Amino acid sequence: MKELVEYIARSISAYPDEVKVTEEEEEGCIVLKLEVAPDDKGKVIGRQGRVAQSMRVLLRVAAVKRGTRATLEIV
């Protein structure tokens, strides 16, 4: 799941080398934290949060296939 988020974020961003995804586990739920360059934050979030919401939906689908729960935080 971490690789999925990292792949999408690198594809969108102008500075793909600065994309960093960290994975933490909290109360049976996987929390993925996505860090990008300040100039790319708008691209990753998208207009009215559409890109971020789409990434969260794809992450949720991947998590359900693995039988777990996952959330995405953009920091």
Q: Where are the domains of the chain?
A: 2-74
Q: What is the pLDDT of residue 52?
A: 95
Rounded Cα gap, residues 5 and 55, in angstroms: 7
What tens digit of pLDDT does each residue of 4-58 get?
999 999 999 999 999 999 999 988 899 999 999 999 999 999 999 999 999 999 9
Q: What is the DSSP secondary structure assignment for residue 27, as one 8-state letter?
A: T
Residue 73 predicted with pLDDT over 90: yes
What tens digit of pLDDT does each residue of 56-71 get?
999 999 999 999 999 9
Residue 44 has φ and ψ, to the nearest 5°, of -70, -35
CATH of domain 2-74: 3.30.300.20
Residue 28 zone, left/alpha/beta (φ > 0; ψ -120 to 50; rest): left
